[in-house]
Amino acid sequence: MKQLLFVLSISMLFSYQTANAQLFGKKKKASETKKTEKPKGEFKNYADIIKAGVKSDDGLFTVHQKDGKLYYEIPFDKLEKDLLLVSRIVKLPDNFGGGYINAGSKVNEQVVRWYKRDKNIDLKVISFTNESDEESPISKSVEANNFFPILFSTEIEAVNPDSTAYLVDVSKLYTEEVSAINAMSDGLRKRYKVKRLDKNRSYIESANAYPQNIEVKHLMTYDAGNPPERDQAGTISMLLNQSMILLPEDKMKPRLADDRVGWFTLEKYDYNSDELKSDRYELIRRWRLVPKDIEAYKKGELVEPVKPIVYYLDPATPEKWRPYFIQGIEDWNVAFEAAGFKNAIIAKEAPSPEEDPDFSPEDVRYSVVRYVASTTRNAVGPSVTDPRTGEIIESDIIWYHNHLRSYRNRFMIEAGAQTEAARTLQTPEEEIGEMMRMVIAHEVGHAIGLPHNMKASSAYPTDSLRSATFTHKYGLTPSIMDYARVNYVAQPEDEGVRYIRMMGPYDKYAINWGYRYLADAETKEDEKATLDEWILEKAGNPWYEFGSGYGVADPRANRESLGDNHVKASEYGLANLKKVVPNLVEWTSEDGKGYEELAEVYRELGYMWWGYNRHVIANVGGIYETRKTSNQEGVVYEHVPADIQRNAVAFLNEHTFTNHEWLLNKDILQRIEDDGAIERVKALQVRALSSLLDEDRILRMIENESLNGNDAYTALAMLEDVRRGIFSELYRGQSVDAYRRNIQRTYIDLAAEKIAELDAEKNQDSDIIISDIIPLMRAELNQLKTDISSRRYRTSDRMSLIHYDDLLARIDKTFAE
């Protein structure tokens, strides 16, 4: 879920700014906090402002609404306290942000504090990335180089009657444009040609105070030249919710991260480190779970936490799906039991207004699984975190309604050959419910701290996924945090196999590592030896390895792949696709309806076929990454063995750069379009070939050869294998059909484009120009020219000869330019 990177980047928007010296380490005791009480005569009369007719609510602050204005009574003892400000969208226009911004989406989260300055109150943004002990001399430098930005400022109106709080007008914080809390980013502003915020149509809708938080809903209306939908009359209106929650004085003991176990993290820099540099470290993000009975817990008994993790179901959730959502949430109790907790996570129906009139999904005190009526096909699991310690305060999981469609289609495509339940647009409730359950479990995994573990899917032997016993016991991968949605490896003759992913052994291991309560450790540093020991116990077992799948060339961290042998898995997947295609008309037809569903499923099948190719290509020039520390034996990076790379290219020659008659099914194509199918197949082949000839991939292969010599699968060998595969008819003296002529022309054109691109980049990228890439590509075209010239007349097919003439002309043109 790509949206996860976006959410993390927003949450760190102000991470470069830090607190003053007293923040970087010890915090002043409450008794040391200066409380400045000014005589009431310096301000207005409280009774002249807050009088009859004012709507008031008591809580963290007392809030007052009067004539469209909002007032806070900020207690003296809440000045300079850490508050988490969380901005969310409550309501928004259809298709705003392209469908991936919806009701419940988080806009920002940041720590703020209220400060008194003369007769003003300032709201400042605080960050905790940089640290130093306040007693250390360097703390002065840290403070000077990490100055607090002021988010909002207002004059003090009055002092409350018992002289314990300042009354301030905060209306403009919510009715004017404050970029740090509104949903109209610069990119969206440009996209929709936003002219201005219309203050006459922007207002505060409600303000409610609770013991630990303040909730404000405010409507923002913009004049826009190009709103998301034409019928929006040049206007964009959004209802936002701002949650201001008091962070705990009793901070959770943080836990140091280790990149060998996957967790969402917070980055920190300690300037009091004994290292000869600032000490960079990371904390994991997790909920605070403390056993009720610590002694029983230490004896190995399962113990309930003092405060469990509770999720409420959105009242908008269809009733028939609620049991599956509840199961998906509470499935994690198995993993928490591995960490010594029972009933650690609980799912509940949302209370009715009679049961709890204060309940609101936007209230940061409640974690909610939201059901969004949207055509977006996705689900996300963001969370809100205390940046001081990594404690997760709250999270809202979002399920977009049309995600059902994604799983219905995928189930038909990848399991239709094997199971009757997948051969319909009306997927049986048991199967679609199980898929929804596992999607929710996956998103809960994010919400409790776990990122994607794309490496998990490569841990199991590919043929084990054809075993009913194995798949029901261990699932499709060791982690539900991988993208491995449907078992496409299983074949029609494999009875009783599980087709839908489930929680696995890595999930239990990761939760134990992150949540096990270490009562005898006083500091995060005291925990490290134990945490390291747990990792070393599992070292070398692929079931317990982590790989994010982002920014690495490790084919084992492929998205959507299955099994430890990508060639074999893709062969199994292709065999199933070839059985599915001839049945799609029957499986997608509904009386009285057209063929829109057929077109959608057929095209998605093509995308999945491309995915199988992508899994195989990743092995060519691939590098295995096994995360280790210096006390572990072996290296971190290893090139993929030559025989695996060679087999990958053989697969592509046999199945990708070839005739795709099985995919160009006339019964389907004549029902969904008048043309375009051949171009789509060509596009798939071009994409595969372009990926295979990627310059970064070839550079890795050249480096592999320099490091491993004869044991390497060289770039020259790869290019020769590809050429002989794509032009196999030339070397066998056979005629070339229309589909193969297409891919052969594509090969020459693509090679020519690569040479031209690399030549153009030579002044910008020295690695490219001094490498062997350009000479290799030119050598391949020269060799092909020689072979065509000497072998072309081994066939008497007239169209093939014309084709060869054209290929020679294309090559000559490449070298003439």
Reference 685, options 617, 633, 625; nearest CA is 617
Token pair of 802 as six digits: 């014309």
Judged against a pLDDT cut of 60, whether residue 37 lies above it is answered with: no
Distance of alpha carbon 480 from its chain centroid, rounded?
A: 14
Distance CA 79, CA 38 (A): 14
pLDDT the model gives residue 21: 35
pLDDT of residue 739: 84
Distance, in Å, from the CA atom of 564 to the CA atom of 549, rounded to the nearest integer, reads: 15
CA pair distance 158, 51, nearest whole angstrom: 13
Q: Are 578 and 662 in contact (CB under 8 A)?
A: yes
Residue 633 DSSP SS3: coil
**Who wins on pLDDT, 14 or 453?**
453
**Residue boundaries of the structural domains of the chain:** 3-247, 294-408
DSSP-based three-state secondary structure for 776: helix
Q: Dump pLDDT digits (tens) for 268-312.
A: 877 666 665 567 889 999 999 999 999 999 999 999 999 999 999
User: In angstroms, rounded to a whole number, what is the distance separating the alpha carbons of residues 412 and 428?
Assistant: 12
- The count of other CB atoms within 10 Å of the CB of residue 117 is 11
% of the chain beyond a pLDDT of 90? 68
Task: List all residues 6 or more positions away from 725 whose beta carbon is below 8 Å from its beta carbon.
Answer: 649, 650, 652, 653, 654, 657
- pLDDT tier at 41, thresholds 50, 70, 90: low
Q: Examine the pLDDT at 513 and tell me if it is beyond 60.
A: yes
pTM: 0.87
Predicted confidence at residue 756, as pLDDT, reads 81
Q: What is the pLDDT of residue 271?
A: 64
Span 708-751, pLDDT tens digits? 888 999 999 999 999 999 999 999 999 999 889 989 998 999 88
Per-residue model confidence as pLDDT tens digits over 73-107: 999 999 999 999 999 888 888 778 776 677 778 88
Q: In Å, what is the CA distance from 482 to each residue of 446, 538, 548, 662? A: 11, 19, 9, 30
Q: What is the secondary structure of 732-746 as a DSSP string?
A: HT----HHHHHHHHH
84: enclosing H helix or E strand:
strand 83-91
Residue 131 dihedral angles phi and psi, to the nearest 5°: -130, 150
Enumerate the β-bridge partners of residue 592: none
Residues 777-807 as b/e (b if ≥16 CB within 10 A, e otherwise) read beebbeebbeebeebbeebeeeebeebbeeb
Q: Which two tokens stand for residue 425?
A: 């647009």
Cα–Cα dist 590/581, whole Å? 17
Beta bridge partners of 392: 385
Among 256-265, 538-547, 620-629, 758-767, the range scoring the smallest mean pLDDT is: 758-767
**Opening angle at CA 765, ends 762 and 767, nearest 5:** 105
Tokens of 711: 């044991």
pLDDT in tens, 181-211: 888 888 888 888 888 898 899 999 999 998 8
Query: What would the 3-class secondary structure string for 555-577 be?
Result: HHHCCCCCCCCHHHHHHHHHHHH
Please give the Cα distance from 266 to 282 (Å, whole number).
Answer: 5
List, for residues 473-504, the tens digit of each pLDDT value. Answer: 999 999 999 999 999 999 999 999 999 999 99
User: Residue 638: left if φ>0, alpha if ψ -120 to 50, beta else—which one?
Assistant: beta
